[in-house]
Amino acid sequence: MKEGEGKEEGQNDVIKVLFLLFIILLTFGTVGFMLLNGDSIWNAFYQSILILLTHFFHKANQPFNVEILILLLIFGSYIIVAYVIKFAAEYLFEGTFKENRKRRAMKKTIEDCHDHYIICGYGRVGKQIAEELSDEKKKFIVIDRDPKEAKNADDNGFLVINGDPTEEKTLLKAGILKAKSVIVVPGSEVDSLYIVLSARSLNPDVFIIARAEREEGIAKIMKAGANKVAMPAQIAGYHMATMALRPAVVDFLNVIVDGKHDELQIEELQIGPKSEYINRPVSFYLSQVENCVSILAINRVDGTSKVNPAGNEILTLNDRLILMGTRQQLEKVTDKASL
């Protein structure tokens, strides 16, 4: 949005200059008629207005210096009209009107967002994250300081802000106070650090995932306030090694993790304070959802996990259930469980 905002500011500057020129010409004409013709202030003002608006003066045989004044006013008024016509033509015929309307609509949509994701950086990793969130039909906003990358995100139909994500005002524009999560993937580890610091200071409760390039950067970014830190190179290396060692396992994991596959997916559900499943066994939960999904694990608040939990395992507040099933089954369970 930053590039479009720059154009709009430039147009506003032109309007201000034209208005100022009109006021200067009106003042110049009024004072001129008063001094050269001895007119009253009202008559001088009235004649100046008529000349500027009609580009014509009906009285002939004026003194030479008055005629010069009239010509200057007429030429000045034509300059204003010429710029107004040029401005209107650009606004209507060069897409400015459409761009402004689209930009205002996007700004309104961004302001209305809540429980959304913010992607800081639209490089190779940022693009992949945006596509995955889009496939999952999640609300998200992209921030990138590069106008070309911001335009690419816009062309792909994503909500985007062309601005510096290290600046607090940009994060506020993206609705960080109402955001669910911030995903920090700029091109620089230093930028990651600044973004995490700014995001955490603005919203102490937002979930922050950040990218690091080196092992030593992970601890710094975690101290800055990130909840999770990932190293794309490390993840890619681990994934490729697993593909070589256990290709069938990787194929299975790709199916359940990739949001484009409906046949099998994994979802996470948290047991909230109003849930009817608090202090109930896993078997009770499974009976309520008609055993249409599988519980792979229970992640406890204290950081421990129960993999393939037994039916008598008791569910507690803020437990996170890792469920597996088809997209339709998981959506049904999510609506029915209301955890």
Range with lowest mean pLDDT among 59-68, 225-234, 295-304: 59-68
In eight-state DSSP terms, residue 314 is: B
Tokens of 47: 């004649």
Contacts of 252 (CB under 8 A, 6+ apart): none
Q: Please, are residues 144 and 126 in contact by the beta-carbon 8 Å criterion?
A: yes
pLDDT band at 261 (very low <50, low <70, confident <90, very high): low
Q: Please, are residues 226 and 208 in contact by the beta-carbon 8 Å criterion?
A: yes
Tokens of 306: 């129960």
Q: Please, are residues 327 and 262 in contact by the beta-carbon 8 Å criterion?
A: yes
**Nearest one of 282, 301, 305 to 293, comparing CA atoms:** 282
Taking the model in full, what pTM does it have? Answer: 0.60
**Nearest one of 331, 1, 336, 294 to 137, comparing CA atoms:** 331
Half-sphere exposure of 102 toward its Cβ, with a 13 Å CA cutoff?
14
Tokens of 24: 């200067």
Distance between CA 202 and CA 161 in Å, rounded? Answer: 18
Contacts of 151 (CB under 8 A, 6+ apart): 3, 162
pLDDT band at 337 (very low <50, low <70, confident <90, very high): very low
Mean pLDDT of 5-23: 72
Give the 3-state secondary structure of residue 280.
coil
Residue-wise pLDDT tens digits, 42-88: 988 988 888 888 877 767 677 888 888 888 888 888 888 888 887 77
Distance between CA 320 and CA 305 in Å, rounded? Answer: 9
Give the 3-state secondary structure of residue 205.
coil
Residue-wise pLDDT tens digits, 82-133: 888 877 776 666 555 566 666 777 788 888 889 999 999 999 999 999 998 9
Distance between CA 294 and CA 96 in Å, rounded? Answer: 53
Using the structure block, give the residue that is written with the tokens 């000045």. 76
- Domains identified in the chain and CATH numbers: 2-96 (1.10.287.70), 113-235 (3.40.50.720), 247-337 (3.30.70.1450)
Spell out where the chain has E strands: 117-120, 140-144, 159-162, 181-184, 207-211, 228-230, 265-270, 294-299, 305-307, 320-325
**Phi/psi at 263 (5° precision):** -70, -30
Mean pLDDT of 23-31: 90
